[in-house]
Amino acid sequence: MRSPTFHSVSAVAATLAVVVLAGVACSDPPASSPTATTTVSLPAVDRAAGAGARADLKESTGEVVLPMSAYWYSDRENVLVNTAVAFLIYDCVEDAGFTVAPWGGGGKALQDGRYGQWSRPLAARNGAMPEIREIPGVMDEQPERPALSADHQAAETKCSNSVGRAGLPELLDGLAGDASLQNQITRNAVALTELDSEYLAYRKSWEECLATKGIKLSEQGSWSLQSSGSREDGIRVALLDLDCKDASGGARKPYDILAEYQAAQMMDHQAELNALAEEKADAVVRAKQILRDHGVADARL
């Protein structure tokens, strides 16, 4: 068992980061247009089969919890698993004869903004800018590590490649190239939502309301809006945006439609999803044990 030291590896900086839920841009990415969506092959899904499913919109943090969220790592679980992987890479680097400098271990995640701003308290504080959630690490924040020699950097790269994920799955929504069942359900639900008649009527009403207030979309099909660029005007526009969403059925409506399309698909795959939930739970348990073996106290887990 390793001594309880806390180290960092620059080669795994991407591994250590919490994958952001709503993209990294300050404005929301444009929504896919209905025309583009119709070119995608989609399953026939009866939304009514998922009736009653709802999104949990956490207004204080900007987090959105959907039915499929149970099969992805939470922000906290992601930090635990990624830090456990990092510790195994640190071990490899130390075995190669290098001393590895400390790292803080925390992460950040952005407010979900796929349908624009939806939280009035956050709009009043941030405008359309996403709220940033700080995810505590398993250790105290550490000073920046010194520059590394070429040999040290090569050892970190080699260890990162050889350790990989160490058998701990990367269960994160929206990873490029992910053909997993849970990602297929999630992608299908997004596309089906954008074709849904209730969603389209909601969006049409919202756009018409914005027009009466002199507010323009950043681009066609987008959920982001034009403003002067000042903080004050950004807040003004975001609050008017929410006024129009409320007048059209509420800012949560597209998320609830999305939740129903997720839930409707889940019914046909519950056995597979149950197995996935067990895999996720096992990965978190194993990650916590790896962290304990490296001296992390249970209070930090």
What is the span of the domain harbouring residue 95?
A: 10-162+174-300
CB proximity list for 235: less than 8 A, separation 6 or greater: 123, 124, 125, 126, 127
Beta bridge partners of residue 225, listed in sequence order: 217
Query: Which residue is listed with tokens 């990650």?
Result: 287
Q: What's the pLDDT score for residue 241?
A: 98
Counted domains in the chain: 1
The pLDDT tens digits for 51-64 are 999 999 999 899 99
**Amino acid, single-letter form, for residue 123:** A
Q: What is residue 196's three-state secondary structure?
A: coil
In a domain, 249, yes or no: yes
**pLDDT attached to residue 99:** 87
* CA neighbours closer than 13 Å in the CB half-sphere of residue 189: 31
What is the model's pLDDT at position 29?
36
Q: How many CA atoms lie within 13 A of 219 on its CB side?
A: 7
pLDDT at 102: 61
Regions of the chain where pLDDT drops below 70: 1-40, 101-104
Q: Which helix (H) or strand (E) holds 282?
A: helix 270-293
In-domain check, residue 200: yes
Q: Domain for residue 169, yes or no?
A: no
Give domain status of residue 67, yes or no. yes
Is 69 inside a domain boundary? Answer: yes
Instruction: Classify residue 115: in a domain, yes or no.
Output: yes
pTM of the complete model: 0.84
Confirm whether 4 is domain-assigned. Answer: no
